[in-house]
Structure 1
Amino acid sequence: MLSTGGGGGALYLGVLTSLFHLSGPVAAATSLFTAFPSLVVGSIGHYKTGNIRFKVGNRMIIAAIPATIVGSLLSPYIPKIIYTWIIAIILIILGIQILVQFIFPSKNKKKSKFDNLKATLFGVISGLMVGVAGLSGGGPILAGLLLLNLDMVRAVATSSYVLVGTSAIGLIFHLNGNIDWSIGISLMIGAIIGAIVAPRLLSKVNPIKFNTYVKPLMSVLIIFMGIKMII
């Protein structure tokens, strides 16, 4: 998932609950345990290629980490159905916005005075996803970076960097001895291999072509993620 800027939390949760039949708390902790090392490895690779945009990434991290802590503390008291619908609607809206932005590109690429506020908001949403449900929170981070006019290559790299911070905090709060070590380690090995390869592949692609082909695909994927959460 690092080639698309996500930590793979939603994918891991789906696999762990449906295929391996793990309970929610165990699946959440195992998912974060699986994703975190690959995010670290992938971020190091993206740093070496120079594609991480630290200014916007740091702003998102500053907003996301407190939200992750708050979400982790509140997670036992939030009805799952309410949380699921809220996040699903947000993802669908973000996906539609990215698709519209791609079809009708704005001629004005200058920095907006609201960009910092937008980055903070996307960071908060991501942090809540990590804290409450054990997801990686990559969806809103990547969507936010694309809506802030980063191309796909730099959005992917910056997203991986942000998710290192949120996943680390989320893992601490979701740990509680709930990790299924045998399954988690097996998945983690595969994820690390992918994280090593992805930055090198992205450094060799044409950013304009990659943006043209992958950005609309990502918008559809984000919309699909939102719909999948409620059906």
Structure 2
Amino acid sequence: MVWVSLLITGFLVGLFVLSTGGGGAAIYLGLLTTAFHLSPAVAAATSLFTAFPSLLVGAYGHYRTGQIHFRVGNQMLLAAIPATIVGALLSPIIPQKIYTWLVAAILFLLGVQILVKILIKSAQRPAKHKSLQAILYGIVSGLMVGIAGLSGGGPIIAGLLALGLDMVPAAATSAYVLVGTSFVGLLFHLSANNIDWSIGVCLMIGAVLGAICAPRLLAKGNPQRLNTIMKPLMALLLIVMGVKMVL
């Protein structure tokens, strides 16, 4: 029955995170380290393996709906890929204890970031796109992917919203960017042979099924209502998983 729970978990995470602009690797990483007790290095590689196919499927679905903003997406992607490579090269030389604390801190801060965005909503948005901001958000995202095995969706979706995109195109453009960064990060982690295949494959299949449904949910449903309910829950989950890793 473990594989059934993995499929359901992957489906729910893939459905939700691709509806809100993320890749889900942070949630997978937290689950793999806390619930399945994988080491941070193995969990990082497995989370990227799980998230990448669902990102690819979700991005294609968003492309078909015409919601991807390629100009800002390409600027973020061109900045994020070199940062991902640098992070992946640094990852093997980081001591295990520091690596654990680093991953825990990222999970915790991502959760706090989501809560702050919920509690402090600004009615004003920048009037026009700023390339430098897009590049900076891309660099932060790439480092998260390379070092910690996260998909890097937090800074990407936050940056896209700050640059003036509405929720649906921001989620679509984020998925497009994360396909590139997750692919590069996955290549480096694959070379280290750290993936737990038995867990990763089940989660990945569920995540792909969720990703197929996500663009349809955004196109026909009410993503703002979904965000209102699920975003605080996801934020609290990330915070709890980050704290649990170091206790």
TM-score (ref. length: structure 1): 0.84
Alignment RMSD, CA only? Answer: 2.7
Unaligned runs of 5+ in 1: none
Tell me the CA shift for residue 159 of structure 1. 0.8
Match of 2:127 in 1: 110
SS at match of 2:174: helix
Cα displacement string for residues 68-118 of structure 1 (whole angstroms, at most 9, x for unaligned residues): 00001112334336745874686478547644763x411x65115xx2111
Paired residue for 1:73? Answer: 89
Q: Who is 2:44 aligned against?
A: 28
Contact 1:98 1:146 in 2 (8 A): no
Map of 1:173 onto structure 2: 188
Distance 1:148 1:119 in 2: 8
2:220 counterpart SS class: coil
Residue 14 of structure 1 deviates from its aligned partner by 1.6
How far the C-alpha of 1:7 sits from its partner, in A, is 1.0
Q: Which runs of 5+ in 2 are unaligned?
A: 1-16
1:163 maps to amino acid: L
Match of 2:34 in 1: 18
**1:149-164 correspondence to structure 2 within 5 Å:** 149-164=164-179
Match of 1:43? Answer: 59
Following the alignment from structure 2 to structure 1, what is the Cα–Cα distance between the partners of residues 233 and 206? 25
Distance of 1:45 and 1:86 partners within structure 2: 32
Count of aligned pairs:
224
Range that drifts further, 164-173 or 77-86: 77-86
**Which residue number in structure 2 is paired with residue 128 of structure 1?**
143
